[in-house]
Chains A and B, each alone.
Chain A
Amino acid sequence: MKVWEYILRRLLLAVLVIFGVSVVTFFIARVVPSDPAALWVGPRPSPDQIAAARVKLGLDRPLHVQYFYYLGNLLHGDLGVSIKTHQPIIQDLRAYLPATLELVLVGMAMAVFIGIPLGVLSAARRNRFLDHFSRLVAVASVSIPTFWLGLLLQLIFFGHLHWLPIGGRVSIETTLYRPIQTVTGFYLVDTLITRNWPAFRDALTHIILPAFTLATYAIGLTIRMTRSTMVEVLQEKYIVAARAAGLSERTILFRLALKNAIVPTLMVLALSFVYSLTGAILVEVIFSWPGLGSYVTAAIINVDFPVIIAVTLVVTVFYVLINLVLDLVQVALDPRVVLK
């Protein structure tokens, strides 16, 4: 099968998945006991206000009719309006999604660049000091609670050393005097494009602690995963043959062995990437990072159902796309895997 045909087929399937998710979330969100009309009006809604809001929001119509209206709007790219903030959700997402994506991407990059080399070296030097050390790092990083690590890092790097800021995406000085021109919403990218170097430096120093806090779990996972698959691969005959042929250790480890060992690690990383989109709530709160996690948590507490559905759909889209990309990467890396 051709690659494009395969992609097309998967995308068509994805539409079905997204439709299914929209049905399930819509109806679940609406059977939870709550009154969206009352929330829409404010903290002290009067019966008249609630009645008016119910009509305005179309809540007086049967549930299935409401769903078809919702679906119709969705097809036009309209994700609806937040019951709490009364604002189009698409605008909220434009503000919160890039912030989270940037944080998670940097975190995942840290996991790749710290976790994979440590895992590889750990497997290569089995039962030696580096192996014990990296296993300790792995166990520690999957077991440390995020909120505790975040506060500890703040206390050290902000409180005592004054090296890094306590939270936020950029400093107040940047907002006031070197404002970032929003192009993509990723501050690191935007400041590079507009060559706003001081703001780039500022954004970079702000992202280090939260991204590292977010990455610790993934780092631990990556080390463990890479090590175990590498240990297996290093016992294969072709590695023995390569050693016999006198290839350098570096070539053997990183070019021959890692290529066959990396697929499961990538799978784990990709899944933890998508999980972090909404699961980074603790990191976002501790580091005052205005992301999707805090946004959707507030929505869940308030039973702001249009937001809950919209975020679920966005995350579903990411899941579907990431899975597709992963499958294609697997095809590219592993000749035994063929498209069907």
Chain B
Amino acid sequence: MLPKRSFLALIVLVALAVLLSLVGCRPSTPTPAAGETPAPPKENVAVYAHPTSFPDIDPSVSYSNDSAVVSNLYETLVWYNPPMHPQLLRPGLAERWESNADATEWTFYLRKGVKFHDGTALNAQAVKYSIERTITMGMGASYIWDPVEEITVVDDYTVRFKLKYSAPLDLIAASGYGSWIFSPACVEAQGEKASEWFNEGHDCGSGPYTIESYERGRRLVITRFDDYWGGWKPGQFTKVVFEVVEDPTVRQQMIEAGTADVTYDIPRANLAALDARPDVVVYTNPAFQNLVGLLNVRKPPLDNKLVRQAISYAFPYEQFIQTVVSGYAVQSRGPVPLGMWGHGDQLFQYTYNLDKARDLLAQAGYPNGGFKLVMTHVAGDLDERQVGEVWKAELAKLGIDLEVRGMSWEAQWDLGKSDPMQAQDIFVMYWWPDYVSPYSFLYSMFHCEEETLFNLGYYCNPQYDELIDRANELSGSNRAEAERLFVEAQQILVDDAAAVFFYDLVNTHAVRADIKGYVDNPSYPHVVFFYELSR
């Protein structure tokens, strides 16, 4: 029998050994050797305090907040300009592009002298490889390439896309999801494990920065790529640190203390005080995102247009925006948000008017209301819940009982996809575009669907479908005409009151005042293009 003291020590040792072996002794990220070498001279480092982690940084899969990182590592053939810019698009890896008359064949002419981070050169083969990998993997936003039938390498710097049907391939190629171009040699070197390798903290891009280190869920450091084709100027950031900081108060403290340079998602109530500081600037811009309540047009009583119009008049838009969201939103005009091409600034807007609502209800045969509606939203989204609560109080004045039901997104969506006669009456959700086109809003939420996917109000109007399909075909070749048709289609939706368009969201980003060159581009939500900034 062991003496008790040694026995205790043994237990502790065994427990520790088990603990360490459970945790594993392999490095979770490759880190350079440590040493006590003195720190090199201070570099120009920017810190982005980011509210979420980055689920997947494989460029073919990334379809989430990870685009904040990915957009600094990779480039697309074409870029969207920020709103208010006279041109919608600007050249990226393609210097110029053209399509045939019916937008079924697109040719992109590539920039010369572009190098990937592994040293290989950009060529047409790399473009073909990248997009084909994204399509083959079938993950994330890969479906945006659905129109593509064949990609042909014409010569080293020319690539041609043959489409199955007319589509604005320039807009698709500019998407912040699924359109990144990467080095084939770099990806091939990793074989089947490429996706895993990316997510351990590696990249194969041609962008201004490359990943230096990655602690999953906590911190990702990117460092400047010396051979970047755009070159480097003094004052630009040599390194950027993405800090995952989930707590909004902590992010605010960091930006105030200067330990972070950029952040977003600060509590609205604190934004004015933050903006009043001399060392922080709060940028407020349109976000290409809106909050809509899709109305179940198949199920009584909302199958009656007059009832739908009546409840559209029963929401206090302005008051809600000023008080609940502290003015950080704008009442929507139709489904395409403010600042985006295809937004109809002359479209009719329903305003808060209970008398009108009462009249419409009377015309519809419900002079005293007397029915119940179920509104579903994502539980935990405070804004959506408050929309429901405010609306419930207003509808009660009309004798309508609104049940506000918070659910997990999965459950809300499942109910929405079930039989429309058993489903919710009002489906509240946000919408944002995958690639920046009104078609993303108008098709996904309102085009006839055989099997319900996102048209969760079950609206179906062949005249409307024809308009938007035609507009989509034209958006590659005749954007002005496409825009006109898109606005015309939206007028139909507004007249039919197919949905309640609550408000368009506004992006707010807090940036340290000594950072120069910051411009928000909502086509790439919450992406900060650090190459364009300096200090």
CB distance B55 to A84 under 8 Å? Answer: yes
CB neighbours (8 Å) of B25 from chain A are 183-184
Q: How large is the interface on A (under 10, 10 to 19, 20 to 34, 35 or more residues)?
A: 35 or more
Of A154, A182, A295, A321, which contacts B29 at CB under 8 A?
A: A182
Q: Mark B248-283, 1 if CB is under 8 A from A, else 0.
A: 011001100101000000000000000000000000
Q: B226 on the interface (CB 8 Å rule)?
A: no
With A43-B64, A166-B254, A286-B247 as contacts: A181 and B23 at CB distance below 8 Å? no
CB neighbours (8 Å) of B241 from chain A are 172, 175-176
CB neighbours (8 Å) of B259 from chain A are 166
Q: Smallest CB–CB gap between B266 and chain A, Å?
A: 15
Q: B383 on the interface (CB 8 Å rule)?
A: no
Q: A168 on the interface (CB 8 Å rule)?
A: yes
Q: Provide the bound-state CA to CA distance between A59 and B8, in Å.
A: 48
**Counting chain A CB atoms within 10 Å of each CB, which of B25, B199, B216 scores highest?**
B216
CB distance B139 to A42 under 8 Å? Answer: yes
CB neighbours (8 Å) of B24 from chain A are 90, 94, 185
CB distance A196 to B217 under 8 Å? Answer: no
Q: Smallest CB–CB gap between B217 and chain A, Å?
A: 4
CB neighbours (8 Å) of A40 from chain B are 139
CB neighbours (8 Å) of B411 from chain A are 33-34
CB distance B215 to A173 under 8 Å? Answer: no
Q: Smallest CB–CB gap between A309 and chain B, Å?
A: 17
CB neighbours (8 Å) of B239 from chain A are 176
Q: Provide the bound-state CA to CA distance between A128 and B246, in Å.
A: 45
Q: Which of A228-272 contact B (CB under 8 A)?
A: none
**What is the chain A residue whose CB lies nearest that of B15?**
A325
Q: B28 on the interface (CB 8 Å rule)?
A: yes
How many residue pairs between the two chains, A and B, have CB atoms under 8 Å in the bound complex?
189
Q: Smallest CB–CB gap between B259 and chain A, Å?
A: 7
Q: Provide the bound-state CA to CA distance between A329 and B12, in Å.
A: 9
Of B15, B36, B195, B408, which contacts A195 at CB under 8 A?
A: B36
Q: Mark B232-254, 1 if CB is under 8 A from A, else 0.
A: 00000001010111110110011
CB distance A329 to B31 under 8 Å? Answer: no
Q: Smallest CB–CB gap between B134 and chain A, Å?
A: 12
Chain A binding surface SS class: helix
CB neighbours (8 Å) of B253 from chain A are 154-155, 158-159, 166
CB neighbours (8 Å) of B141 from chain A are 42, 44
Q: Which of A282-309 contact B (CB under 8 A)?
A: 285-288, 290, 294-295, 298, 301, 303
Q: Smallest CB–CB gap between A46 and chain B, Å?
A: 5
Q: Provide the bound-state CA to CA distance between A294 and B444, in Å.
A: 33
**What is the chain A residue whose CB lies nearest that of B195?**
A86
CB neighbours (8 Å) of B55 from chain A are 84-85
Q: B84 on the interface (CB 8 Å rule)?
A: no
CB distance B31 to A180 under 8 Å? Answer: yes
Q: Smallest CB–CB gap between A230 and chain B, Å?
A: 21
CB distance B20 to A290 under 8 Å? Answer: no
Q: Mark A70-90, 1 if CB is under 8 A from B, else 0.
A: 000000000000001111101
Q: Which of B71-99 contact A (CB under 8 A)?
A: none
CB distance B27 to A184 under 8 Å? Answer: no
Of A38, A86, A99, A285, which contacts B246 at CB under 8 A?
A: A285
**What is the chain A residue whose CB lies nearest that of B21?**
A184
CB neighbours (8 Å) of A151 from chain B are 249
Q: Which of A309-323 contact B (CB under 8 A)?
A: 314, 317, 321
- Interface segment, B39-47, B180-188, B362-370? B39-47
Of A52, A178, A286, which contacts B39 at CB under 8 A?
A: A178
**What is the chain A residue whose CB lies nearest that of B256?**
A159
Q: Smallest CB–CB gap between B431 and chain A, Å?
A: 10
CB distance B245 to A196 under 8 Å? Answer: no
Q: Provide the bound-state CA to CA distance between A87 and B410, in Å.
A: 21
Q: A143 on the interface (CB 8 Å rule)?
A: no
**What is the chain A residue whose CB lies nearest that of B144?**
A44
CB neighbours (8 Å) of B43 from chain A are 176
CB neighbours (8 Å) of A159 from chain B are 253, 257
Q: Mark A34-54, 1 if CB is under 8 A from B, else 0.
A: 110011111110111100100
CB neighbours (8 Å) of B196 from chain A are 87-88, 91
CB neighbours (8 Å) of A288 from chain B are 218, 243-247, 250
CB neighbours (8 Å) of B18 from chain A are 321
Q: Mark B280-310, 1 if CB is under 8 A from A, else 0.
A: 0000000000000000000000000000000
Of A39, A195, A290, which contacts B218 at CB under 8 A?
A: A290
CB distance A35 to B414 under 8 Å? Answer: yes
Q: B221 on the interface (CB 8 Å rule)?
A: yes
CB distance B218 to A41 under 8 Å? Answer: no
Q: B420 on the interface (CB 8 Å rule)?
A: no
Q: Mark B199-217, 1 if CB is under 8 A from A, else 0.
A: 1100000000000010111
The 7 A-B residue pairs with the shortest CB-CB distance in the complex, in nearest-first order: A290-B218, A182-B27, A290-B217, A177-B39, A42-B63, A34-B410, A42-B140
Interface contacts beyond A33-B410, A166-B250, A196-B35: sample of 5 additional A-B pairs, CB < 8 Å, sorted by A: A3-B7, A44-B454, A176-B221, A303-B408, A332-B8
12 A-B residue pairs with CB within 8 Å: A49-B139, A85-B55, A86-B199, A95-B29, A158-B257, A168-B243, A172-B243, A176-B241, A177-B40, A191-B34, A298-B53, A332-B8
A residues at B contact (CB < 8 Å): 3, 33-35, 38-44, 46-49, 52, 84-88, 90-92, 94-99, 101, 151, 154-155, 158-159, 166-169, 172-173, 175-186, 191, 194-199, 285-288, 290, 294-295, 298, 301, 303, 314, 317, 321, 325, 328-329, 332-333
